[in-house]
Structure 1
Amino acid sequence: MKPVFILSFLLLLIAGRPAAQSSKTVREYFQLQVFHYTSPEQEQQLDRYLQNALLPALHRLKYQRIGVFKALANDTATDKKIYVIIPFRELQRWPQLSDQLQKDRTYLQAAADEQNSPNKAGIYNRIETILLKSFSKAPLLEVPRLEGDKAQRVYELRSYESSSGKRFRNKVAMFNDGDEIGIFKQLGFNAVFYGEVLAGSRMPNLMYMTTHASMEARNQNWKNFGSDPAWKKLNAMEAYKDNVSRIDISFLKATSYSDL
């Protein structure tokens, strides 16, 4: 075989490798913001800000799959909440977003109520921000594949805290290597995201969101999960014992202008 032919053949092999590597899915990052408010007037202003200012600006910046949710218990809660989740393909885009919004004149005009609100009685009381990185076995934020009335859906946001970094990593491994994610998928939980919390008020912890056609469907899904043979086997494994110290559950509903 001639040297020139061999060299050409090797170059073709090398040239083919990047294409195969580039097909690998990149893990996304998520910003979960929780807007805390008190009054019905604040809720109306927040809805106008999110629907008419923030989401249109994010769409202009090519952000998609943005979720906006309200707690099912907002009507009776003292501290009312609206949740906004934004996926980022690259981490460096996260700190750039604020500057990009402040350079968008259309956004600033539509966000006048938020930008110019009174110091002590704004359209929200405070914003809580949580930064997450997706799990390796669920790298992308997913739009729920559910039919039926979107207004009847229940979005369940769960936060699992651990008492140490080691136990936290063990619980993440239970979802990935133990395939807890696969069990949820097989049972029709319609997960929106699974994420490791990189920065937030409660750490170490992970968060994930599942979607159900109704509260009745949600309850049946969890009943099926509890009796599933694969889950029983995974839950009984000594390798994954005692890796969660606290669980918080929030039941949410999507707003009419949410992408999810």
Structure 2
Amino acid sequence: MKSLLALSMLFCALTLSAQKVDKRYFELRIYYTYPGRMDALLSRFENHTTKIFEKHGMENIGYWLPVEGNQEVLYYILAYPNKEARDKSWTAFSSDPEWKQVQAKSEESGKIVDSVASVFMNASDIMPKIKPGSGKNRVFELRTYTCLPGRLPNLITRFKDHTVKLFEKHGMENIVYFTTVEKDGSQPKLVYLLAHKSKDDAKKSWDAFRSDPVWVEARDASEKDGKIVEKVESVYLTPTGFSKIK
């Protein structure tokens, strides 16, 4: 009887653990606007697009602009129940008379969006749920890691066992972690979002993190069979006024 109860409790614990990972399908979209048209794009999103997205089952997660560099770029993340729902939602959105009217009206002075890049993602169990939060004047950092062949599991293990804790230790707030869905079926990339008090604070945090003996030991141990990360891309972002994550 006790054995049966123990097995039942273990099953429940495993089930609850499995349920913790966010099963939604995510999309990072990057819009490059024509020169001088970012204000028109932001106005259209704030007053119309985000609401029409929700109307068609697309969940607005967050919207950001680069802190430096090209200011004609908008980054945002949407969530869907699954890939099939995503495709249906975009079909419905694109053919919605309300959207067509809004688009035509906003483009009376010329086209707004020059090109769009899209990255499909699944939530990583590094951090099962998005930590939205809100802070005054927070700066966000979007980081993308490309691993050497077959080394992504090693990177995820290192993050779960060491990195996320060390980030928090050094003042970096973990917001969300994703793995990409590559069109050619190749190894996914790790994409994650951190929050900092400022860009200057981010530099101080990264310097402290990289020189932390605990991190150095964890990194060296994880790379005893070879390097893990091939390339790291980073962009600092500031949230728009209508972003849910600020």
Same fold (TM over 0.5): yes
Q: What CA distance in whole angstroms lies between the structure 2 residues aligned with 1:134 and 1:161?
A: 17
Deviation at 1:236, TM superposition (A): 1.4
- The answer to whether residue 70 in structure 2 is matched with residue 87 in structure 1 is no
The partner residue of 2:32 within 36, 44, 58 is 36
SS of 1:55's equivalent in the other structure is helix
Once the two structures are superposed, residues 129-188 of structure 1 have per-residue CA deviations (whole angstroms, 9 ceiling, x without a partner) of 001111113122221453x3x3xx221111111232x02332223223x33223223433
For the 8 Å contact 2:57–2:89, the answer to whether it is kept is no
**Compared with structure 1, are the counterparts of its residues 163 and 140 closer, same or farther at alpha carbon in structure 2 (3 Å cutoff)?**
same
Q: More strand per residue: 1 or 2?
A: 2
The corresponding residue for 1:213 is: 197
Q: What CA distance in whole angstroms lies between the structure 1 residues aligned with 2:188 and 2:219?
A: 21
The corresponding residue for 1:139 is: 128
Q: Letter of the aligned partner of 1:54 in structure 2?
A: T
Deviation at 1:224, TM superposition (A): 2.5
- The answer to whether residue 45 in structure 2 is matched with residue 70 in structure 1 is no
The corresponding residue for 2:89 is: 97
Once the two structures are superposed, residues 237-258 of structure 1 have per-residue CA deviations (whole angstroms, 9 ceiling, x without a partner) of 1347411111111111111111
SS of 1:39's equivalent in the other structure is coil
Q: What CA distance in whole angstroms lies between the structure 2 residues aligned with 1:86 and 1:228?
A: 35
The corresponding residue for 1:171 is: 155
SS of 2:227's equivalent in the other structure is coil
The corresponding residue for 2:238 is: 253
The corresponding residue for 2:167 is: 184
Deviation at 1:43, TM superposition (A): 0.8
Gaps of 5+ in 1: 1-5
Greater radius of gyration (CA): 1
Once the two structures are superposed, residues 11-68 of structure 1 have per-residue CA deviations (whole angstroms, 9 ceiling, x without a partner) of xx98xx679835721324321000012311x212211221112212234456555211
Deviation at 1:230, TM superposition (A): 2.9
**Compared with structure 1, are the counterparts of its residues 256 and 105 closer, same or farther at alpha carbon in structure 2 (3 Å cutoff)?**
same
For the 8 Å contact 1:30–1:85, the answer to whether it is kept is yes
For the 8 Å contact 1:36–1:127, the answer to whether it is kept is yes
**Compared with structure 1, are the counterparts of its residues 232 and 65 closer, same or farther at alpha carbon in structure 2 (3 Å cutoff)?**
farther
TM-score, scaled relative to structure 1 = 0.76
Once the two structures are superposed, residues 92-112 of structure 1 have per-residue CA deviations (whole angstroms, 9 ceiling, x without a partner) of 432232034246554444343
TM-score, scaled relative to structure 2 = 0.80
Gaps of 5+ in 2: none
SS of 2:113's equivalent in the other structure is coil
CA RMSD of aligned residues (A): 3.3
For the 8 Å contact 1:54–1:111, the answer to whether it is kept is no
- The answer to whether residue 43 in structure 2 is matched with residue 48 in structure 1 is yes
Q: Letter of the aligned partner of 1:189 in structure 2?
A: M
Count how many residue pairs are aligned between Structure 1 and Structure 2: 236
